[in-house]
Chain A
């Protein structure tokens, strides 16, 4: 066992224990919107305690640099906490990169501080895992953030043998890790392991398109958590192990939910084989007839309805239409129309993205219904209004075995009496998959910008009523 602990050490460990308990409560209280804000307080108190406890550490001789670091971090953190809700996915990706950067830097510093005798095989293996996972999460998350912010091209970039190259790189990194485990003194090898991990992170995200982002962000979240847990092993810090395990399991659970919602196997996601370009069969399509409608007609149909379900997608966020949608919700509710929102798990660019955007627009959260709960209600629904969603409403996923999205669970909007789809044009969406929904007899296409179109419907509703 460890030698007798000094007094201050015991205090620090006890403080860490309290912080760990608070972290677990913090996540437990996230189970419902009514208690969720307690969760933040628990987390904040736990964090504050842990940092104060750490400052008691006997080995610390230089407080000045710590203070400067904490202040600079706060200065950077505040604007990151104030970004617009539409930018939350890229902010989240960026913070995964920051978290992983911290872990990678601490791991590297620990490696160079320790003598080979302080790095027994298991320790060296965990340390390698820490910096490999950390390194690939840093660049992977930066790539994801860049794509989401549209600094980088959103289109998936693929080339022949891509998976082979990626696996070869990963194998190289692991081979270096193995030789470091055997000979921890080989200092010159260490930077190469990190460089390869960084390169791997970039290549991993290159083939990923926007629609796969919810899975990728969750997965990177899980990697960041696991690397932090590995850091806990290296530093022998139980608090870090617990926090890392919590974050890691959260990321993995979300990845599983997201991959199920896209009908991808979890192993498929784990090995980064997502985002294969779907063969677009756009060529040779004859213009099939579609029915379209004007805002006036749409308003008339909506106000005559009893039950309306709105299906929002990423297009709504792009058009910044959520506040207009809320006005539509208010206008229809005032006329006694029952309006609810159907939320597909992968709608948007990260898990739960749509809920946050609609909540920001002041739509009560008890009107936001999950896919499984609301799907049975579409046949009794007068109007399903699709705003900026495409693949998640594509009935081909149910019936057409040749469709690239066959088997993906979808919102059964086509079963509603009338379907209205707000869309810019008939161009197939991002994934390049044609949507038979648009050609159904009960479908009306509302061509235009989501924000402008919903705005004109709202005006029509208001005008008709004085």
Chain B
């Protein structure tokens, strides 16, 4: 099943994805480094898919319990991460039309 060709494929994907990551993230404005970190945190919680399978397959009590805790931890990262990133990005506004043009 897990032949060595699978591992080589995985290595290719890892290295290429790493390159994409470097190129994409280098271009992120330093202004947004905090939301970047909370966003990557949420994306990283994709590990939830592994945990879901563990819980769902219920192969042993240990794996189900570990998987269950893992699902909770990852889900809270997904929900919290996207939520706070959105809150932060909503706050970034550009200069408004200089102090209300002739109010009243």
Contacts and interface: CB of A to CB of B under 8 A. Distances in A.
Partners in one complex: yes
A103 B74 CA distance: 9
Given A65-B55, A66-B71, A123 B2 contact: yes
Contacts of B34: 88, 92, 350-353, 355-356
A128 to B, nearest CB: 15
A88 B84 contact: yes
B12 to A, nearest CB: 10
Contact of A99 (B45, B50, B69): B45
A31 B17 contact: no
Interface stretch (A37-45, A281-289, A410-418): A37-45
B82 A359 contact: no
A307 interface: no
Given A2-B1, A60-B53, A365-B92, A238 B43 contact: no
A250 B20 CA distance: 10
Interface in B41-67: 41-60, 62-64, 66-67
Given A245-B18, A359-B88, A92 B41 contact: yes
A30 B78 CA distance: 17
Interface residues of B, number: 88
Contacts of B33: 254, 257, 350-352, 355
A225 B70 CA distance: 16
Nearest to B56: A60
Given A81-B87, A233-B14, A243 B43 contact: yes
A325 interface: no
A1 B66 contact: no
A95 B45 CA distance: 9
Interface residues of A, number: 120
Contact of A253 (B26, B42, B91): B26
B37 A77 contact: no
Interface string B79-104: 11111111111111111101100000
A57 B56 contact: yes
Contacts of A330: 99
Interface in B25-44: 25-44
B21 A250 contact: yes
Interface string A1-29: 11100000000000000010001101110
Given A30-B35, A43-B82, A238 B21 contact: no
Contacts of B32: 30, 33, 36, 352, 355
B75 A74 contact: yes
A229 interface: yes
Interface string A251-290: 1011001000000000000000000000000000000000
A385 to B, nearest CB: 20
Nearest to B10: A233
Contacts of A53: 49
Contacts of B20: 24, 245-246
Contact of B60 (A47, A62, A113): A113
Contact of A66 (B31, B38, B52): B52
Interface in A327-357: 330, 333-334, 343, 345, 350-353, 355-356
Contact of B55 (A51, A66, A95, A232): A66
Given A33-B89, A238-B10, A95 B38 contact: yes
Contacts of A83: 84
A361 B74 CA distance: 31
B25 A253 contact: yes
A80 B84 contact: yes
- Which of B10, B64, B94 gathers the greatest number of chain A CB atoms within 10 Å? B10
A364 B93 contact: yes
Contact of A225 (B6, B30, B40, B84): B40
Nearest to B84: A81
A351 B45 CA distance: 20
Nearest to A118: B2
B36 to A, nearest CB: 5
Contact of B66 (A26, A54, A109): A109
Contacts of B50: 106, 231, 235, 237, 240
Contact of A74 (B45, B53, B79): B79
Given A26-B43, A235-B50, A366-B95, A112 B63 contact: yes
B14 to A, nearest CB: 5
Contacts of B64: 62, 65
A241 B17 contact: yes
Interface stretch (A216-224, A387-395, A429-437, A447-455): A216-224
Contacts of B30: 257, 343, 345, 351-352, 355, 370
A40 B72 CA distance: 21
A51 B92 contact: no
A3 B2 CA distance: 10
A2 B43 CA distance: 27
14 contacts: A27-B24, A37-B90, A65-B55, A73-B71, A77-B76, A81-B84, A95-B81, A96-B41, A98-B77, A109-B63, A217-B37, A244-B44, A351-B33, A359-B92
